[in-house]
Structure 1
Amino acid sequence: MTPRFFALIPCAGSGSRSGATMPKQYRSVAGRDLLHHTLAAFDACSELAATLVVIAPDDTHFDARRFAGLRFVVRRCGGASRQASVLNGLHALAEFGALESDWVLVHDAARPGITPVLIRHMIGVLKDDPVGGIAALPLADTLKRVAPGSGGRIARTEAREGLWQAQTPQMFRLGMLREAILDAQQNNHDLTDEASAIEWFGHAPQLVQGNLSNFKVTYPEDFDLADALLRQRQHPGSSH
């Protein structure tokens, strides 16, 4: 059977670093909830069998009416951590016929700059890969390491050759990713993304070049940047 492609959007975080009074995925950006922009990019990709949004069981902000017309499903199975939400989401995908051999693209809800072009490019590059891979960008900035307890003083400059900044989507076989996350958790291995679980499991994911617009909205000032980017996409001929 030809493998199918599913998207999984963990959306159970509180977004505490954003300074918002509500989870950042529900803040208005360029006239829509931030999550709406994220979902719209996946909705535009007919290659996907389903897009699953994982929210917290006690989420009182989610309102399906604000996402009317977009193709996705929701499950209130978010966990205490991002990886717990991803793992619960992988289990939930079985409801929609997802098999061990199917692909899942895990994407941060707070990356509204994702485009259908990047999603399709990742699928095209990775669909025959034995492991899978992630969107990422080669580091362009100089890296400085700060010594603990130094009050923010530079200890040394780190070489940036060969270093990439991980983004999402991160695309792996559903069965492999689930087993990798379970194995890492059982061994108390700290997981920072899906690729780190796959690496822990002994595999080497492929890097697929992403783009700067696919940044993660994290801090208060990021909302203005995302707003400007998305408004420019909505009105490409405008100079404002």
Structure 2
Amino acid sequence: MNTTPNIHTMIVAAGRGSRFGSAIAKQYTELQGQTLLQHSVARLECSAYIDNCLLVIAADDNMAQTLNFALPIQYAIGGAERWQSVQAGVEAIRQSGADDSDLVVIHDAARPAVSSEDINKVIEAAMLEPYGAILATPVADTLKKSYFHSAAQSETIDSFTDKLANSGSIHSYAKCTIDRSNMWQAQTPQVFRLGQLQRVLSYVAENQLDITDEASAFEYLELPIRLVAGSRQNIKLTYPDDAILLAAILTAQTQ
């Protein structure tokens, strides 16, 4: 196994971020005078292991190429699903002459607060692994599994519950508490051997699997991906409230 591989970097920026609820793709949300995408590229540039970046963008994206970035940028066109965008990026990297043992660093466009220390940690961990490594944080909060229940199905015991029963409303209720001792919250960057990543993405395509990150594809094939503890400041912009927290984190990091 090559423990000093070439390193290729990819930012997936082809999505719209529907949960964010903005008229523009969330990676173009501005914080401190720059878009999230520019911030994320600048964070990657701070790593001594990274000297270029492939941006995977939507076919109708007319904004990315108008921006200035901290790294030399190449572009690839993504697909409808995240894994399809990553697959397009992998194919572009492969066409550049990359080897199976090379590492691919995949980062979210909407994670602008990752530290250079964490980027270096996960790359160095992946260098020692046959498949790869990802940044993640142990789950700290109590986890509840829920179930849906209609008030109309309940036995009423007073006039208040009678009113609820007549409404037929469906709500979520706590079913049980999940043991969090082995639970981790995945982050990015996620770093994988190129050949192995290409293999598992082909498996996802052939079996029409639904995955939310690249590590999930390896999990389907029971291939070990190392977890590297990262900072809780490396949050992802998903909902509007996240922008307030990210702005505060970015401000604190520059002081």
TM-score by length of structure 2 reads 0.86
TM-superposed deviation, 1:210: 0.9
Contact 2:13-2:27 at 8 Å conserved across structures: yes
Inter-partner Cα distance in structure 2 for 1:46 and 1:24: 28
Instruction: Kindly indicate whether residue 249 of structure 2 is the aligned counterpart of residue 233 of structure 1.
Output: no
Contact 1:43-1:72 at 8 Å conserved across structures: no
In the other structure, the counterpart of 1:206 is 226
Deviations 1:199-240 (A, max 9, x none): 122311110001111111100011111111112222x1xxxx
Consecutive aligned runs of 4 or more in structure 1 exceeding 6 Å deviation? none
The 3-state SS of whatever aligns with 1:107 is: strand
The 3-state SS of whatever aligns with 1:57 is: coil
Is there any run of 5+ residues in structure 2 with no aligned partner, and where? 151-170
TM-superposed deviation, 1:31: 1.6
Instruction: Kindly indicate whether residue 183 of structure 2 is the aligned counterpart of residue 183 of structure 1.
Output: no
Instruction: Choose from 165, 169, 174 the match for 2:189.
Output: 169
Instruction: Kindly indicate whether residue 37 of structure 2 is the aligned counterpart of residue 35 of structure 1.
Output: yes
Deviations 1:65-98 (A, max 9, x none): x324x11323241100111000000001124332
Amino acid at match of 1:161: S
The 3-state SS of whatever aligns with 1:153 is: strand
In the other structure, the counterpart of 2:28 is 26
TM-score by length of structure 1 reads 0.92
Inter-partner Cα distance in structure 1 for 2:42 and 2:51: 15
Instruction: Kindly indicate whether residue 68 of structure 2 is the aligned counterpart of residue 67 of structure 1.
Output: yes
Is there any run of 5+ residues in structure 1 with no aligned partner, and where? none
Inter-partner Cα distance in structure 2 for 1:50 and 1:147: 46
In the other structure, the counterpart of 1:12 is 14
In the other structure, the counterpart of 1:86 is 86
The 3-state SS of whatever aligns with 1:14 is: coil
Instruction: Choose from 151, 155, 164 the match for 2:175.
Output: 155
Identify if the C-alpha distance between structure 1 residues 93 and 121 changes in structure 2 by more than 3 Å, giving closer, same or farther.
same
Instruction: Mark the structure with the bigger radius of gyration.
Output: 2
Amino acid at match of 1:157: T
Inter-partner Cα distance in structure 2 for 1:178 and 1:128: 19
Inter-partner Cα distance in structure 2 for 1:87 and 1:149: 40
Inter-partner Cα distance in structure 1 for 2:127 and 2:51: 14
Contact 1:55-1:74 at 8 Å conserved across structures: no
In the other structure, the counterpart of 2:126 is 126
TM-superposed deviation, 1:149: 4.2
Inter-partner Cα distance in structure 2 for 1:184 and 1:54: 19
Contact 2:76-2:92 at 8 Å conserved across structures: no
In the other structure, the counterpart of 2:50 is 48
Inter-partner Cα distance in structure 2 for 1:229 and 1:4: 32
Range that drifts further, 195-204 or 7-16: 195-204
The 3-state SS of whatever aligns with 1:213 is: coil
Amino acid at match of 2:68: F
Inter-partner Cα distance in structure 2 for 1:93 and 1:161: 38
TM-superposed deviation, 1:3: 1.3
Corresponding pairs, count: 233
Amino acid at match of 2:26: K
Deviations 1:1-53 (A, max 9, x none): 74111111110001111121100111111221111110001112231253111
Amino acid at match of 1:216: K
Contact 1:18-1:220 at 8 Å conserved across structures: yes
Inter-partner Cα distance in structure 2 for 1:202 and 1:152: 33
